[in-house]
Amino acid sequence: MRQLKHWQDPVNTLLGVLLLVSPWLLGHADHKIIVANAVIAGGLLALDGFGATLAPRPWEEWVAAALGLWITCSPWVLGFGNIDGATAIAFGIGFVVLVLAVWAAASDQGWTPIGGGAH
């Protein structure tokens, strides 16, 4: 069995799936923009995380970071920032994905936020 390079990648995969199904879980399936954003961004995040888990590439962490930034900002950019559940899940998932992606990319450079400094 192959060693996992970053534990963050399967977590991002699960967060992508959660975002993808969130409109139905939260009762926002009638809001087309929320559904479209969740399906597209969540699907891309799940695919990126799954791909990074199976065959890690350095650029995948930056794709995850960009997706995390988009997901975090999307409620306000797309105009659903006033819908509490949708905003909370997008902001929460996006922020966590962004932090995990930067953490994984930084660990490739020998730096981690826990324990600090280069190793």
Q: What confidence category does residue 97 fall into, taking pLDDT thresholds of 50, 70 and 90?
A: very high
Instruction: State the pTM of this model.
Output: 0.84
- The residue ranges of every structural domain in the chain are 12-86
Round to whole Å and give the CA distance between 60 and 35. 24
User: Which bin fits 100, alpha (ψ -120 to 50), beta or left (φ > 0)?
Assistant: alpha
Q: According to the model, what pLDDT value does residue 54 have? A: 80
Among 1-5, 9-13, 54-58, 59-63, the range with the most confident prediction by mean pLDDT is 9-13
